[in-house]
Amino acid sequence: MISGGGTGGHIYPAIAIANAWREKYPSSKILFVGASGKMEMQKVPDAGYKIKGLPVAGLQRSFSLENLKFPFKLLSSLMKASKIVSDFRPDVVVGVGGYASGPVLFAAQRKGIPTLVQEQNSYAGLTNKILAKRAKKICVAYPDMDRFFPADRISYTGNPVRKDILDLAGKREKAITHFALEAEKKTLLVLGGSLGARTLNQAVLNDMAKLDEAGYQVIWQCGKYYYKEMKKKTQEAGFSCIHLREFIREMDLAYAAADVIVSRAGALSVSELSLVGKPVIFIPSPNVAEDHQTKNAMAYVQHDAAWLLKDAEAIGQLENKVDLLMKDAKVSGILGENIKKLAKPNAAIAIVEEIEGLIA
């Protein structure tokens, strides 16, 4: 049983773990448990797995009447999670973070079923810190996580990522055709996540003319929330260098085409980009718990494996940073080499081996 979700950063590693397990044990039964109404309720079935939903939801940071429902949703989720665990009778339960993982792992631990926590970030979330106290194994993506978890139960596995990005060799020509790019121009890839990032979008809008004048082309994933607005503004501007996408499904091709990448610093993005091995400018979101995106990015910056541009400084400074990397092959090469050294390409397999150890 695998539980958690809420964002792609939780869901895609969970699916990668399930895929690695199913590849080795094709006759196994795998059940996901997520939060009703969240994206896992669509993404998991799309990947070929069954999922059950819990009514659990988080507390709103600002005052909201929804917070009055929180105790009732939590109690209901705990009861439902207990029944799901009893009915499915899993040999092991994996929690990947997100609202649903709390009730499910809590129920499993009370029933004596071994649990494994997979922490994607460099700064552990509150739920995982609580669950880890009774978990048999904690799989982490960054070193020095004994600040949060018992050292004797930590396994430094990395974050599981999609298989298609493990080998980008020979894909650039196909990528050029797919995105209708010009082969002789250098390419900037801008990633704001599936929902989008306002600051990144405003920064690109602000610097479109400069990027065009410099001769660069931009593959720009602006996100679901901003697509209509960005499409209108880019059409009005009329720059042929901009290749706008709401969402990019063919990420392997986008990475293959890119010379420089600008991205938020969510755990999954950071892990994927370490495998890609190209120069990256991280612009961490300031709107996440414990500012963990900045901590994720700094874990790479301190190894000279990426650059960091603060969210508050991105609008007006993006093109200058991109231009420096585009023109300085030596610096770009060092960043690409160093970020590749931090990659964990076999993370899903390593986590499967840890699960095997809990069942044996």
Whether 76 and 183 share a structural domain = no
Whether 112 and 242 share a structural domain = no
Domain count for the chain, please give it: 2
Contacts of 302 (CB under 8 A, 6+ apart): none
Contacts of 75 (CB under 8 A, 6+ apart): none
Question: Nearest Cα to 206, choosing from 309, 312, 314, 282?
Answer: 314
Whether 200 and 136 share a structural domain = no
Amino acid letter, 243: H
pLDDT tens for each residue of 268-303: 899 999 999 999 999 999 988 778 899 999 999 999
pLDDT tens for each residue of 204-218: 999 999 999 999 999
For residue 42, say whether it is annotated as part of any ligand binding site: no
Q: Helix, strand or coil for residue 9?
A: helix
pLDDT at 226: 93
Give the pair of three-digit tokens for residue 187.
Answer: 């390419």
Question: Nearest Cα to 163, choosing from 349, 341, 356?
Answer: 349
Whether 335 and 352 share a structural domain = no
For residue 157, say whether it is annotated as part of any ligand binding site: no
Amino acid letter, 267: A
Residues 120 and 96 sit within 8 Å (Cβ to Cβ): yes
pLDDT at 289: 74
Quote the pTM value.
0.86
Q: What's the mean pLDDT when you consider all of the chain?
A: 93
Whether 187 and 292 share a structural domain = yes
For residue 248, say whether it is annotated as part of any ligand binding site: yes
pLDDT at 310: 97
For residue 272, say whether it is annotated as part of any ligand binding site: yes
Dist. CA 345–CA 50, nearest whole Å: 27
pLDDT at 311: 97
For residue 62, say whether it is annotated as part of any ligand binding site: no
| Domain residue limits at 349 | 2-159+345-359
pLDDT at 70: 61
pLDDT tens for each residue of 103-129: 999 999 999 999 999 999 998 988 899
Whether 107 and 229 share a structural domain = no
pLDDT at 163: 80
> What one-character-per-residue DSSP string does 241-255 give?
TEEEES--S-HHHHH
Whether 231 and 85 share a structural domain = no
Starting at the edge strand found earlier in the chain, the sheet holding 260-263 runs: 242-245, 217-221, 187-191, 260-263, 280-282, 307-308
For residue 16, say whether it is annotated as part of any ligand binding site: no
- State mean pLDDT over 95-110: 94
pLDDT tens for each residue of 131-166: 999 999 999 999 899 999 999 999 999 999 888 888
Dihedral (CA of 326, 291, 340, 221) sign: negative
At which residue do the structure tokens 């002789």 appear?
Answer: 184
pLDDT at 98: 86
Whether 217 and 263 share a structural domain = yes
CA atoms within 13 A on the CB side of 316: 4
Pairing of strands 280-282, 307-308: parallel
Give the CATH number, domain containing residue 87.
3.40.50.2000
For residue 285, say whether it is annotated as part of any ligand binding site: no
66 pLDDT band, cuts 50/70/90, is low
Whether 142 and 203 share a structural domain = no
pLDDT score of 328 more than 90: yes
Whether 277 and 352 share a structural domain = no
Three-point CA angle 296, 42, 35, nearest 5°: 65
For residue 155, say whether it is annotated as part of any ligand binding site: no
Whether 176 and 325 share a structural domain = yes
Q: Helix, strand or coil for residue 162?
A: coil
pLDDT at 56: 82
Whether 193 and 110 share a structural domain = no
